[in-house]
Amino acid sequence: MEFHSFSVNEVLRLATRKWIFDYIPKNKVWAEVGVFRGHFSDMIHHLAQPSKLYLVDPWQKLGKYFGFNSPYDDFGKLSTAFAKEEVENRAKLYKCKTIIVEQFSLDFCKRIKEKVDVIYLDSSHNYEMTLKELPALASILKDDGFLCGDDWHYYPSNRHHGVFRAIHEFIKENNFQVIAAGPGKQWILKRAPEYDSPVTKK
């Protein structure tokens, strides 16, 4: 049986990401965009108890290997096919309807036939792509839905700081607001309430 190690730091960080589920009602339709090996998918299944779960990742569309060459992908030895198979095996144990989608995020947004309640974004980790993904994902989100994700890195020196930048540019141009950000580099957005203008017309 083939085995691939996983970053100890990432395993430990999983526990610090749990808090976002306190903000989100159970039994909702979820889409996890950027699934990798499905570790966070397990948390979504167990803690959010979704009624339906889309697991979206390009996997083999990226090529044979992920190319991180770090503990995250077993120093380049983890194949995209193995990661997808691991997710498929995890999903067999889920109680909710689970749909595995091997597509890039923008293609998924064009092809999905329903609106979803919660989207968790953990895909490109860079500014340019995240800035494209956020409005595309917002277009398939229900009006009262939650758009959340990973990589809330405040410091510009961090290699994933681009996600933080993209989120702030997105909320400046769209009717969204940050409702929480914190441990485990997690963030949650919702559409902002549309209040009447405070200026009284004469």
pLDDT digit string (tens) for 118-164?
999 999 999 999 999 999 999 999 999 999 999 999 988 988 899 99
Output the pLDDT for position 1.
Answer: 56
Mean pLDDT of the chain: 93
Side by side, the strands of the sheet bearing 186-191 are 97-101, 52-56, 29-33, 116-121, 141-149, 186-191, 176-182
Please determine, for residue 201, whether its predicted confidence score (pLDDT) is greater than 50. no
Which range, of 41-45, 115-119, 168-172, 194-198, averages the lowest pLDDT?
Answer: 194-198
Output the pLDDT for position 195.
Answer: 58
Backbone angles phi, psi at 159, to 5 degrees: -70, -15
d(CA 92, CA 42): 11
Output the pLDDT for position 8.
Answer: 86
pLDDT digit string (tens) for 53-109?
999 999 999 999 999 999 989 999 999 999 999 999 999 999 999 999 999 999 999
Output the pLDDT for position 9.
Answer: 86
The confidence band for 169, taking pLDDT boundaries of 50, 70 and 90, is very high
CA dihedral 183, 42, 98, 34 (to 10 degrees): 50
Output the pLDDT for position 197.
Answer: 41
Token duo for residue 84: 């997808």
Backbone angles phi, psi at 87, to 5 degrees: -65, -45
Output the pLDDT for position 196.
Answer: 44
Backbone angles phi, psi at 163, to 5 degrees: -65, -45
Beta carbons within 8 Å of 196's beta carbon, 6+ residues apart: none
* CA distances, 87 to each of 17, 28, 53, 57, 131 (Å): 19, 20, 12, 10, 27
Q: What is the pTM for the complete model shown?
A: 0.93
Q: Summarize the chain as % helix, strand, coil (round to 5).
A: 40, 20, 40
User: Residue 201, SS3?
Assistant: coil
Please determine, for residue 202, whether its predicted confidence score (pLDDT) is greater than 50. no
Query: Per-residue pLDDT averaged across 11-36, rounded?
Result: 96
Output the pLDDT for position 26.
Answer: 98
- Where are the strands (E) in the chain, listed by range? 29-33, 52-56, 97-101, 116-121, 141-149, 176-182, 186-191
Q: Side-chain half-sphere of 90: how many Cα atoms within 13 Å? A: 22
